[in-house]
Amino acid sequence: MLNKVRKLQGSARLQSFMPCKKGAFSATHLTKPTLTVAKALLGQRLVTTVGGQTTAGMIVEVEAYGGSCEQGIRDRACHAFRGRTQRNEVMFWAGGHCYVYFIYGMHHCVNVVTEGEDTGSAVLIRALEPIDGIATMRERRGNVALESLTNGPGKLCQALGIDRTLCGEFLPTSKLIRIEPHQRISRSKIGASKRIGISQSKSLPWRFFLRGNPYVSRTS
């Protein structure tokens, strides 16, 4: 992790020089306010290349954590709420980094870090619609129905081969994990709800999803 820290501090500094295709997800997009980034990620493609296999899916469900301090809200469900620790360090890096954590003794969850350095905010990717590498996803997940391949934060990490070795990657330049423009989503297709599976700051409506998409982890 230490040489990764060194490498990434370098790349974080280069963020304003990243090449930016029209509409692409450069660090410029990912350093915006967390709720803005969360909604903007819907409809984009999350792509990994792990073990020589490329897998990709459209982001259909996300949750925002820790952002929007300017609204006077303190998000107690955010891993960064009590300050920096070894686990959450990457959440305090510049927007565009990838934060992966291990939970319940068996699952990984992947986040896109948002806003500026030292903020401690991120967007959890909760569900994808499979696009590419579906055979590889099935090898990793077992022979489950297409709708069950990536419709949950732990499931999509397993399907795309995401684990903590990807924690700290910088999405605009990483060879392993990246976000690409895919589909433009109109405001009216985005639903919002309370976040799932948390016990603190339960009432914040910071989960966003594509209305009616069959790969969203659950309705309501």
Partner DNA sequence: CACTAGATTTTCT
Partner DNA sequence: GAAAATCTAGTGG
Sequence-separated (6 or more) residues with CB below 8 Å from residue 212: 189
Between 24 and 192, whose beta carbon lies closer to DNA? 192
140 vs 134: CA distance, rounded Å: 10
**Sign of dihedral through CA atoms 26, 28, 29, 34?**
positive
Determine whether 126 is exposed, middle or buried from the number of CB atoms within 10 Å of its CB (0-12, 13-18, 19+). Answer: buried
Site string for DNA, 175-194 (x = CB under 7 A): --------------------
Between 23 and 142, whose beta carbon lies closer to DNA? 142
Part in contact with DNA (CB under 7 A); list of ranges 13-21, 41-49, 76-84, 181-189 = 76-84
Task: Specify whether the CB–CB gap between 79 and 87 falls below 8 A.
Answer: yes
The torsion angles phi and psi of 35, rounded to 5 degrees, stand at -70, -35
Part in contact with DNA (CB under 7 A); list of ranges 1-9, 35-43, 45-53, 142-150 = 142-150
Q: Is position 138 an interface residue for DNA (rule: CB under 7 A)?
A: no
User: Under the rule (CB under 7 A), what is the footprint of DNA?
Assistant: 63, 65-66, 77-80, 82, 85-88, 91, 99, 101-107, 109, 111, 122, 124, 141-142, 144, 148, 152-156, 195-200, 217
